[in-house]
Structure 1
Amino acid sequence: IDLARSFQKKLLLLVVDIFNFSLINANYGVNLGDRILLAFVEKLKSLCPEAHLIARTGSDEFAIAIFLDKDVKDILHRIEALREVDVKVDDLKVKLFTNIGVAVYPKDAEDGKSLFGKAVVALKKCKEQGRGCYCTYDVSLETEFRTRLSFEDEISLALERGEFLLYYQPIADIKSLKLSGVEALIRWFSPKRGFVSPATFIPIAESMNLMRDIDKFVLKSVQNFLHRLKNSGYSIPSISINLTPSNFDLLEEFFEDKYFIRCINIEITEREVFEVLKYEKVLSDFLKLGGSLSIDDFGTGYSSLSYLSELPVRCVKIDISFVKKMLEDEKAKKIVEAIIEISKTFGIESVAEGVETEEQYNLLKKLGCNKLQGYFYSPPLKEEELVEKFLKPKA
Structure 2
Amino acid sequence: MRVYLDNAATTPLDPEVFEAMKPFMLEDFGNPSSTHSHGRKVRAAIESARKKIAELLNCTAGEIIFTSGGTEADNAIITSSIQSYGLKTVISSHIEHHAVENTVETLAKRGLVNIKWVNLDEKGHVDLNHLESLLKENPQSLVSLMHANNEIGNVLDIERVGAMCKNYQAYFHSDTVQTVGHYVHDLSKINVHGITAAAHKFHGPKGAGFMFIRKDKKIAPFVYGGAQERNMRGGTENVYGIIGLAKALEIAYREMADHKKHIEELKIRMVHKLKATIPGVSFHGDSDNIERSLYTVLNVCLPESEENDMILFNLDLQGISASGGSACSSGATQGSHVLGTLYPDSKRGAVRFSFSKYNKPEEVDVAVKALADLCKIPA
Q: TM-score range by the shorter chain?
A: under 0.3
Normalization by structure 2: what TM-score?
A: 0.24
The structure with the largest helix share of the pair is 1
Q: Which has the higher strand share?
A: 1
Please say which structure displays the higher CA radius of gyration: 1
Provide the TM-score with structure 1 as the length reference: 0.24
Identify which of structures 1 and 2 has the higher relative contact order when contacts are C-alpha pairs closer than 8 Å and 6+ apart: 2
